[in-house]
Amino acid sequence: MITSDSDSATDLKNAEPAVFSDAEKDVLVIISELEKEVGYIFSDKELAQSAITHKSFFNENKDSGQPVSQHNERLEFLGDAVLELSLSHLLMDQFPHVDEGVLSKLRASLVNEASLFQIAKVLNLNHYIRLGRGEIQSKGAEKPKILSSLFEAILGAIYLDAGFEKAQSVVNGIFKELIKDIKNIESIFVDYKTQLQELSQKIYGITPKYKLLVSTGPDHEKIFQMEVFINDQVKAQGSGGSKKQAAQSAAQMLLEELKNERV
């Protein structure tokens, strides 16, 4: 929790009471609940508001009087860098004798869309994203891309609000538990495609198929979106910096769904 120094406390004491519209009050309630989940209280609530605002909500409401100043895509861009640097520090600290190549693979496995989606779900971030009507109807609050981007945007907002050390502290609090019990670091690099193939053959008697949906970005920084499907019905999507990474991400998504259905 952030504490103010004496000057700030005096300023707050002498400040006029803030007056909020009903819509602004609703957003402040959402932000308050979000702060409890991530373990950080924003000084600048407008940064938090931007972090939870999807572009679809912004486009629909920017001229409506709703409290919306920015959407979260720029914060996502910043949060991605904050997350990678924070995890680099954490992994070097936790695995002092592991070489760079293995650390890079480990970091990549922690920051891929599938992993961040799972973390976002654990933090209940699907309850706090502000979406446009179309995204609400298409269940945008359950989409891996939207929730993983939301998580990164929140980290970007924390960085702007309080600096790198505070953002790093939040990252450490979330990820330290995920990696502290790793005994054999090589064992975490799971081949999700192979696992999915084995489970698919066991359940359906067939192997999954993969399809490239789209690739975006410049040649040196492309992002690939892949879909995996079984019987043209059981489907999942994933993205990554290569077709192989995107396929692994999609396989991980579908594998989690199938395992949850069998619980």
Q: Mind telling me the catalytic residues?
A: 80, 152
Cα(216)–Cα(144) distance, integer angstroms: 17
> What is the 8-class DSSP label of residue 19?
-
Helices 73-94, 144-162: axis angle to 10 degrees equals: 80
Unique residue bearing structure tokens 């769904």? 257
> What is the 8-class DSSP label of residue 67?
S
Which sign does the torsion angle of CA 61, 66, 71, 72 carry? negative
- Token pair listed for 234: 């059981």
Phi, psi of 130, deg, nearest 5: -100, 115
Cα(12)–Cα(6) distance, integer angstroms: 10
Q: Are 225 and 240 in contact (CB under 8 A)?
A: no
